[in-house]
């Protein structure tokens, strides 16, 4: 068995792509427009997984599948499946970059190891420090939680 992808439904594809690509740094690897089914699928890969994702085409390495249904729907319980998790080279630099882009850090990396953010569709995303945790540092150490994750 091997992991293929995580699928999340999004209500605004442009807003979701702005978050995942422009702010979070993922790369689109393929797109499927299905007029008959009235949906669009967009597959994204993290930069460190990009070559592997492209090498395997539709069944490459880990990807995130954004499913956009053309007919409006209301989705609730965005957290009911758990969360997406990504390893990052520098958790402090990543959180700083996201904050400067207007993303709320719901659970700051007070321990130098883990933080949580949410997508525009309330999908919880865990960020984990690659390797050993960083030493606790300000402003993260004293930053309170915001909302839920």
Question: What residues are annotated to the active site?
Answer: 126
Return the DSSP state at 132: S
From the list 3, 7, 44, 43, the residue with the least C-alpha distance to 25 is 44
From the list 6, 63, 8, the residue with the least C-alpha distance to 30 is 63
DSSP-assigned letters across all residues of 79-125: TTT--EEEEES-HHHHHHHHHHTT--EEE--TTSSEEEEE-TT--EE
């Amino acid at each position: 068995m091997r992991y293929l992808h995580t699928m999340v439904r999004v209500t605004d594809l442009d807003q979701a792509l702005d978050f995942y690509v422009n702010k979070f740094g993922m790369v689109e690897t393929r797109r499927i427009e299905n007029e008959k089914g009235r949906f669009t699928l967009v597959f994204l890969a993290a930069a460190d997984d990009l070559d592997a994702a492209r090498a395997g085409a539709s069944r490459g390495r880990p990807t995130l599948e954004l499913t956009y249904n053309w007919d409006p729907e209301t989705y609730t319980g965005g957290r009911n499946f758990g969360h997406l998790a990504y390893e990052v080279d520098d958790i402090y630099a990543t959180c700083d970059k996201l904050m400067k882009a207007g993303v709320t850090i719901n659970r700051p990396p007070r321990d130098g190891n883990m933080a949580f953010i949410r997508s525009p569709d309330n999908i919880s995303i865990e960020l984990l420090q690659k390797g050993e945790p960083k030493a606790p540092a300000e402003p993260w150490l004293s930053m309170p939680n915001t909302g839920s994750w």
